[in-house]
A and B are shown apart, each in its own frame.
Chain A
Amino acid sequence: MTEPDSPAPPRHPPALERKSYGDRIFKGMLTVAAVGLPVLLGFLVFELFAGSREAIARFGFGFVTSSTWDPVAEQFGAWPLIFGTLMSAALALMIAVPLSLGVAIYLTEFAPVRLRQPAAFVIELLAAIPSVVYGLWGIFVLIPVLKDSVFPLLQSVLGFLPFFQGPIYGPSMLSASIILAIMVMPYIMAVSREVLLAVPASQREAALGLGATRWEAVVTTVVPYARSGLIGAVILGLGRALGETMAVTMLIGNRHEIAASLFAPGYTMAAAIANEFSEAVTDIHLSSLAYVALLLFLITVLINAGARLLIWRVSRGTTAGSRVL
């Protein structure tokens, strides 16, 4: 600097003072969106309460435990629907979780490298198929196969269990659970795969360097390291299974009953709302359906909160694994 005493005054205001309207507008829009979503949720809960007020007043908590659903007599109870929802989702996960975890482990650890990406891509495509298409496929392809060969075989082998006794219907709890399993598998598989890919190579090398086989390294190191993320993947699948409506209502038989046999028809909360809403003529029927919706909402919230708690408890001590979610 040759002239330290007389710095030239800047002709333009320095960049620091420039007002960035773009940033402010952007920030404002994001704030509105971020605040808007919880507000929307609040409205939703309020609407559900308002809509179901009549049914809550008439049936109270007995609505949850009663099994009668008689629109003519104006008697409503949601227990078969709650049972059907939980049962079909649980069955679907029992089928889907081992399969999708197995596929995810195979695709990340064992499959030939050239197969990994294409296979994962195709499986993720399954998630993009509309559920009504799954429903149609279920009615025309899956149910005939199940009814004619799979269910009779199950009955002859496992018929001593109450779950596999009684007459075989096509549309049934088990058919709906199987279609649900097929529908949630891509989600569980895709997320599990991401989680397994996020396990550092150093963990695998540590196990292999200690004399573990590939399989031992997966079981003792990779899966435990990824466990919180894997639980998250399963919970994501559970959320899908609980809320799935179209394909389930096409395959479950839609009967307000609880049967021990998985070959018998059942009903789920989401399916009942979708099916009966347009046909409900009395106020109390409509209000009861809103009450069912409120219960479905509460169950979903409870299950997700429980899942968060589980992930939080399981992930203590691990450094990563759940980060992907």
Chain B
Amino acid sequence: MNVTQAETSMSLPTPGRQPTLSERMPAPPPSPTIAIEARGFRFSYGATEVLHGIDLAIQRNAVTAIIGPSGCGKSTFLRSINRLNELIPGTRHQGDILVDGSSIYGRGTDAVSLRQRIGMVFQRPNPFPKSIFDNVAYGPVLNALVAQRDLPDLVEQCLRQAALWDEVKDRLDEPGTSLSGGQQQRLCIARALGNQPETLLMDEPCSALDPIATQRIEELIDQLKQDFTIVIVTHNMQQAARVSDYTGFIDSGRLIEFGDTNQIFTAPANERTEAYITGRFG
């Protein structure tokens, strides 16, 4: 069954709609630096539009932080990139998001394979009530990525990448739910890595964790950016400043400012950005 067809989400019918870029010309070679690009992206839940046209280019092999006050639409934007939002009935979008130069809504793209290429880590650790091994093996088995005999190697590699291997190597049969909160979140990262994605989306991955577990995740993010493009939504501005290379500030569904993290946090161009990062609102 194809998820995309079963869902109610669809493009708004635009009068005299121009063919999208990818339809007009042969797909350009993927940009070497830009992994994800949003173009005038709007998103609505029912009648409420929460994103009012986001234009944003996310750099490959870098960490991009999305900050903004609660309810500003930053999580909605993140969950639009892998089309997880459209599972909610009654959602609509306008504009486009390109991943490696091709539209996520393009005819050749289906949401299921898109979500395999773009891993997601959620706000609360949500391991499956299966063994640690089976948690990591879930994606590769589901998507038939590797042969059965290569599975243990892949699981070990993912757990090592997620800096969890040494803590769990002797108890891979135990349920993933028996780990501590921080370990569970690293297990979820390992599980996302199991799909061998190109991009990792992280939706406030540390908000349910204590400071020490948070620090470990942040160190991990720093290591992972060598191999993956990472987009992280966070409430915590110190965290954005610590882990990210680029920062985007979203407020009330609009991208207010986007740029180099150092510049955003030391010399923001927009006064609302400055007000937010200095804690005067939000």
Q: Which residues of A contact B (CB under 8 A)?
A: 110, 113, 200, 202-203, 205-216, 220-221, 224-225, 317-319
Contact = CB atoms under 8 A, between A and B. Distances in A.
Nearest to A211: B116
Given A205-B122, A225-B129, A212 B112 contact: yes
A319 B177 contact: yes
Contacts of A318: 129, 175, 177
Contact of B116 (A210, A215, A221): A210
Given A215-B1, A220-B142, A205 B126 contact: yes
Contacts of A319: 129, 177
B192 to A, nearest CB: 7
Interface of A: prevailing SS: helix
Given A210-B115, A317-B175, A216 B142 contact: yes
B188 interface: yes
Contact of A211 (B126, B142, B178): B142
B115 A211 contact: yes
A313 to B, nearest CB: 14
A206 B130 contact: no
A214 B111 CA distance: 11
A206 B128 contact: yes
B128 A211 contact: no
Chain B, interface size category, equals: 20 to 34
Interface of B: 1-3, 6, 82, 84, 87, 89, 112-113, 115-116, 119-120, 122, 124, 126-130, 138-139, 142-143, 175, 177-178, 188, 191-192, 194-195
Contacts of B178: 317
A206 B142 contact: no
Contacts of B3: 208, 213-214
A208 B128 contact: no
B177 A211 contact: no
30 contacts: A113-B89, A202-B126, A205-B126, A206-B191, A207-B128, A208-B3, A208-B84, A209-B115, A209-B120, A210-B119, A210-B138, A210-B142, A210-B143, A211-B113, A211-B115, A211-B116, A211-B139, A211-B142, A212-B142, A213-B1, A213-B2, A213-B3, A213-B112, A214-B6, A220-B142, A224-B129, A317-B175, A317-B177, A318-B177, A319-B129
A180 to B, nearest CB: 33
A307 B119 CA distance: 39
A319 B125 CA distance: 13
B129 A206 contact: no
A200 B6 CA distance: 21
Contacts of B138: 207, 210, 220
Nearest to A206: B126
A206 B122 contact: yes
A200 B129 CA distance: 12
A214 B1 contact: yes
Contacts of B112: 211-213
Contacts of B191: 206, 210
Contacts of B89: 113
A235 B13 CA distance: 51
B190 to A, nearest CB: 12
Contacts of B142: 210-212, 216, 220
Contacts of A209: 82, 84, 115, 119-120, 122, 192
A157 to B, nearest CB: 30
A206 B187 CA distance: 12
Given A212-B142, A214-B3, A215-B1, A202 B124 contact: yes
A202 B139 contact: no
A317 B173 CA distance: 11
Nearest to B140: A210
Nearest to B123: A202
B128 A221 contact: yes
Nearest to A202: B126
